[in-house]
Amino acid sequence: MSGSNRAQKVGLGYEVDKKMEQNYDREEAAGTPAAVVTWVNAVCAGEHDAIPSPEWKTMCTHLRDGVMLCKLINKLLKADGKSPIQFQKKVMSPFVAMTNIENFNKGAQDYGVSKEFTFQSGDLWEVRKGPFLNVLNGVHSLGFVANGKGVKPSYEGDIKKSLDLE
């Protein structure tokens, strides 16, 4: 499940992965995963099992089939007077999960999230810490868009600007 049959990255690929993991660690230190989990669980309360922990692998495996993300965006779209996205609740294959994730991203863009803040289905499906940063950033951005529309419960994440001086 976690890519153990993958060849190890070397060179530039390795450096990019390490940099993404460091950036994830910085977001974790800033409390972003905890804020995302708290908000997603609150918005989806009663409609989906809660994410039990803000630890990256727990979040990733819980969101991996795209179902909770689709329920989240549909609640937000409905509150905004927009049509819900289609998704499959019973995910029996990676293809279905990736379709759910793609539909979430389309819904997020329809809701007002910039395309730059969406993520690729593989960022979530592959269960790798570095790429999961893109998922975290996408839901983090969705929370800010929802706040701008007055959605309750409010997203409590912070915008932290940091300079990458390396």
Residue 107: both structure tokens together: 């819904």
Confidence (pLDDT) at 11: 80
pLDDT of 165 above 70: no
Mean pLDDT, rounded, of the chain = 91
* Dihedral over alpha carbons 143, 148, 149, 150 (to 10 degrees): 90
C-alpha to C-alpha distance for 101 and 60, rounded to whole angstroms: 12
Which option is the CATH number for 11-148: 2.40.110.10, 1.10.10.60, 1.20.1630.10, 1.10.418.10?
1.10.418.10
Confidence (pLDDT) at 12: 79
Residues above pLDDT 70, as percent of the chain: 90
pLDDT of 1 above 80: no
What SS3 string covers the chain? CCCCCCCCCCHHHHHHHHHHHHHHHHHHHCCHHHHHHHHHHHHCCCCCCCCCCCCHHHHHHHHCCCHHHHHHHHHHHHHCCCCCCCCCCCCCCHHHHHHHHHHHHHHHHHHCCCHHHCCCHHHHHCCCHHHHHHHHHHHHHHHHHHHHCCCCCCCCCCCCCCCCCC
Residue 21: both structure tokens together: 């993991």
The three-point CA angle 116-23-113 to 5° equals 20
Task: Note the maximum CA span of the chain.
Answer: 48
Could you tell me the residue ranges of all domains in the chain? 11-148
Reported as a single tens digit per residue, the pLDDT across 4-44 is 565 666 687 788 888 989 999 999 999 999 999 999 999 99
Band of residue 159 on the pLDDT scale cut at 50, 70, 90: confident
Reported as a single tens digit per residue, the pLDDT across 97-136 is 999 999 999 999 999 999 999 999 999 999 999 999 999 9
Reported as a single tens digit per residue, the pLDDT across 131-151 is 999 999 999 999 999 999 999
